[in-house]
Amino acid sequence: PAATEVKDFAIGAEDAKVKIVEYASFTCPHCARFHADNWAKLKADYIDTGKVRFEYHEVYFDRYGLWAAMTARCGGELRYFGIADMLFDKQQEWAASDNPAEVVENLKKLGRSAGMDDATLDACLKDGAQAEALVAHFEKNFKADGVEGTPTFFVNGTKHSNMGWDEFKAVIDAELAK
């Protein structure tokens, strides 16, 4: 069979002057914090206005993070960022268990709230070929881009580690001013 193709999801104008790539894990507390503090402002001020194209690169440090990504991808590109929002917003709720079966049930609850049924979610979560393809894709890009931790941002190709909103906004505005 053909290899499962993996694409990274992006939102914002394709011709935006600034392209941001974020490497993040759905189980990373720093990523959830960045998301809680900055995502709404980034989306409203830069993405929705056509200034920034934002691409999300998933990082899997653990199986929960992989399963969360498979859940987010299950809804297709249309629902991906909405589900990603929920995964970060409710990270403490769905990921806070040592019981993998409980985590899967929590992820399915999130998927159902995004309009998917159990059969669809089961099929996505049990897709071994997809899981292998995702891990291979992540490992290749993570290594090629020299990412060491999450969240890591590339703003027009320049690598930045986690930062507060004012600093992040200054980096974006400097690129827009070029």
What CA–CA distance (Å, rounded) separates 87 from 159? 25
- How confident is the model at residue 4, as a pLDDT? 73
Tracing tokens 């190709």 back to the chain, one arrives at 157
The neighbouring-strand residues paired with 155 are 20, 158
- How confident is the model at residue 5, as a pLDDT? 79
Sequence-distant (6+) residues with CB within 8 A of 139 are: none
Q: Which secondary structure element, helix H or strand E, spans residue 63, and what is its range?
A: helix 63-74
- How confident is the model at residue 37, as a pLDDT? 95
Q: Residue 4 CB: number of other CB atoms within 10 A? A: 15
Residues 136-158 have a mean pLDDT of 96
Q: Is the pLDDT of residue 17 over 80?
A: yes
Helix (H, G, I), strand (E, B) or coil at 24: strand
Q: For 45-98, how does the pLDDT look when each residue is reduced to its tens digit (9 = 90+)?
A: 999 999 999 999 999 999 999 999 999 999 898 899 999 999 999 999 999 999
Please say whether the dihedral angle defined by the alpha carbons of residues 86, 88, 92 and 94, taken in this order, is positive or negative.
positive
- How confident is the model at residue 126, as a pLDDT? 95
Tracing tokens 């809804």 back to the chain, one arrives at 75
The tokens for 117 are 């049924």
Please say whether the dihedral angle defined by the alpha carbons of residues 48, 52, 53 and 54, taken in this order, is positive or negative.
negative
Q: For 101-143, how does the pLDDT look when each residue is reduced to its tens digit (9 = 90+)?
A: 999 999 999 999 999 999 999 999 999 999 999 999 999 999 9
What CA–CA distance (Å, rounded) separates 104 from 164? 32
Q: Is the pLDDT of residue 155 over 70?
A: yes
